[in-house]
């Protein structure tokens, strides 16, 4: 069965609007509970984390009801970063991990992400089977076998200790002033505490969640506030997380922003020098800049590209036995340490390199000159299929012909929002703008 409910990272949408309703969350809970209780023997458990969105309470309760109805015991972590769920699922011997979050999306959205018993996100095949159960219905547990729910108070602290353990043993951040923007999201307590415990002088931003302000004017998608704070406070570096803290954007001491491509370039080069980069390969998506690929080529390293979505990056890493990957948007996956992207952990790796090298952030955050890249999003209406229109196909074909191998063109549907993403790269910036704008105009035209 093809997946219709699941996108590139679980189920996502506007809260209280199909499919993100309490009723659907209950059905999802029951279906995923039955899927992971293929046998009826022994104790079965699931850990659930969430970010700070107001709707998180509603979905947490609905999922718990669905899961316990199939005999699953539920362990509730409360607000924790997404990578904490990936960590604690195998640590607590759970059959399943669930994170309630829409990541970098606005507060009105929410989502449900799933992790298997190994702490890695579910495969497309698993999601297809769960979706089939949602539509067909599931057999409920007998009254005496209904599951229990329990609050876990120390989940965040377990996660924080794991994150700190990835920082070089015996090293501290004494003397470094760090701005950390938590996006009023899941890491609003964990990130400042970890940095402070390692000795940094911490300037916290986005640490006053009210259920409605997650990602609003802050965090990795809007780093301007943090950049201004870095300059105003004379900080050495800024770390910007998103709502569920699985991605990071860095800011150097001058207020300049470094994206995930620059972070991956630094880490890949450093790990290769230390003979830690397995296979000499970095895994990234089709969205990563051509400049990153050239940077790696010059060092005898290889960029392995995947479809968009950190889940596909991780799947490729596991197939190839590689240990470093990520996305331009700031997901940095280090499978030596974690099962999914971890913004705080990646930020610590950057700080560790600052300490080791003695160089400022500005010297470490600009590893290659990016090829000019332009990305524009076009929102489309429900039921529309703009990429199937002849006029759009013609505009794309014409753009590819004009690039004539001198750049890249990537047109795709978002897996999390009703958007068409139009991206192009080439050295000629005037041509770049002309091509992207031409395709955007055709995609946005009335069918």
Cα–Cα dist 260/394, whole Å: 33
CA distance 236 to 178: 6
Q: Cα(147)–Cα(126) distance, rounded to whole angstroms?
A: 22
CA atoms within 13 A on the CB side of 178: 31
Do 53 and 211 touch, CB atoms closer than 8 A? yes
Q: Are strands 73-79 and 45-50 parallel, antiparallel or unpaired?
A: parallel
Q: Which residue has the tokens 């109805």?
A: 69
For the purposes of burial, counting CB atoms within 10 Å of the CB of 429, is it exposed (0-12), middle (13-18) or buried (19 or more)? exposed
Q: Which residue has the tokens 């954007």?
A: 249
Which of 352, 329, 195 lies closest to 271, judged by CA?
352
CB 321, CB 360: distance < 8 Å: no
DSSP H or E run through 12: strand 11-14
- Give the pairing of strands 419-425 and 373-379: antiparallel
Q: Distance (Å, rounded) from C-alpha 82 to C-alpha 50?
A: 8
Distance between CA atoms of residues 367 and 356, nearest Å? 17
CA distance 143 to 69: 9
Instruction: Tell me the C-alpha distance between 217 and 181, whole Å.
Output: 11
Which residue among 69, 101, 103, 329 is the active-site one? 103
Instruction: Give the span between the Cα atoms of 186 and 50, in whole angstroms.
Output: 7
| Residue 288 to residue 371: CA distance in whole angstroms | 10
Residue 103 annotated as catalytic: yes
Whole-angstrom distance, CA of residue 94 vs CA of residue 380: 40
Q: Are 89 and 119 in contact (CB under 8 A)?
A: yes
Q: How many CA atoms lie within 13 A of 81 on its CB side?
A: 32
As a whole number of angstroms, the distance between CA 310 and CA 306 comes to 9
How many whole angstroms separate alpha carbon 1 and alpha carbon 255? 48
Question: Using an 8 Å Cβ cutoff, are 386 and 420 in contact?
Answer: yes
Report the relative pairing of strands 109-115 and 96-100 from DSSP bridges: antiparallel
Catalytic residues: 103
């Amino acid at each position: 069965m093809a997946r219709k409910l699941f996108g590139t990272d679980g189920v996502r949408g506007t809260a209280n609007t199909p499919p993100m309703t309490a009723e659907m969350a209950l059905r999802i809970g029951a279906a995923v509970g039955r899927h992971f209780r293929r046998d009826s023997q022994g104790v079965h458990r699931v850990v659930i984390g969430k970010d700070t969105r107001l709707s998180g309470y509603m979905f947490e309760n609905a999922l718990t009801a669905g899961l316990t109805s199939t005999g699953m015991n539920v362990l509730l972590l409360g607000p924790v970063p997404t990578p904490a769920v990936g960590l604690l699922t195998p640590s607590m011997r759970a059959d399943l991990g669930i994170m309630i979050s829409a990541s970098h999306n606005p507060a009105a959205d929410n989502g449900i992400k799933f992790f298997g018993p190994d702490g890695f996100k579910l495969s497309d095949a698993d999601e297809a089977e769960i979706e089939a159960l949602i539509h067909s219905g599931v057999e409920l547990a007998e009254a005496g076998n209904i599951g229990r729910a329990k609050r876990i108070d120390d989940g965040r602290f377990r996660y924080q200790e794991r994150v700190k353990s990835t920082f070089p043993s015996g090293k501290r951040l004494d003397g470094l002033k760090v701005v950390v923007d938590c996006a009023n999201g899941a890491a609003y307590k964990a990130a400042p505490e970890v940095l402070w415990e390692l000795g940094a002088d911490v300037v916290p931003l986005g640490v006053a969640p009210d259920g409605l302000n997650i990602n609003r004017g802050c965090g990795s998608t809007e780093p301007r506030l943090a950049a201004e704070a870095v300059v105003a406070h004379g900080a050495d570096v800024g770390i910007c997380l998103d709502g569920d803290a699985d991605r990071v954007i860095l800011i150097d001491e001058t207020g300049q922003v470094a994206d995930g491509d620059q972070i991956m370039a630094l880490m890949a080069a450093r790990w290769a020098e230390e003979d830690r980069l397995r296979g000499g390969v970095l895994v990234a998506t089709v969205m990563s800049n051509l400049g990153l690929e050239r940077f790696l080529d010059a060092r005898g390293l290889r960029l392995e590209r995947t479809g968009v979505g950190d889940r596909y990056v991780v799947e490729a890493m596991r197939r190839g036995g590689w240990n470093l990957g990520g996305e331009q948007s700031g997901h940095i996956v280090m499978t030596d340490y974690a099962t999914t992207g971890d913004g705080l952990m990646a930020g610590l790796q950057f700080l560790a390199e600052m300490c080791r090298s003695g160089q400022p952030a500005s010297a470490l955050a600009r590893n290659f000159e990016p090829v000019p890249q332009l990305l524009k999003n076009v929102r489309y209406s429900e039921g529309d299929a703009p990429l199937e229109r002849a006029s759009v196909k013609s505009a794309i074909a014409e753009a590819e012909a004009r690039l004539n191998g001198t750049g890249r063109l990537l047109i795709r549907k978002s897996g999390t929002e009703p958007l068409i993403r139009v991206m192009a790269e080439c050295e000629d910036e005037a041509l770049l703008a002309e091509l992207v704008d031409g395709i955007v105009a055709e995609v946005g035209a009335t069918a």
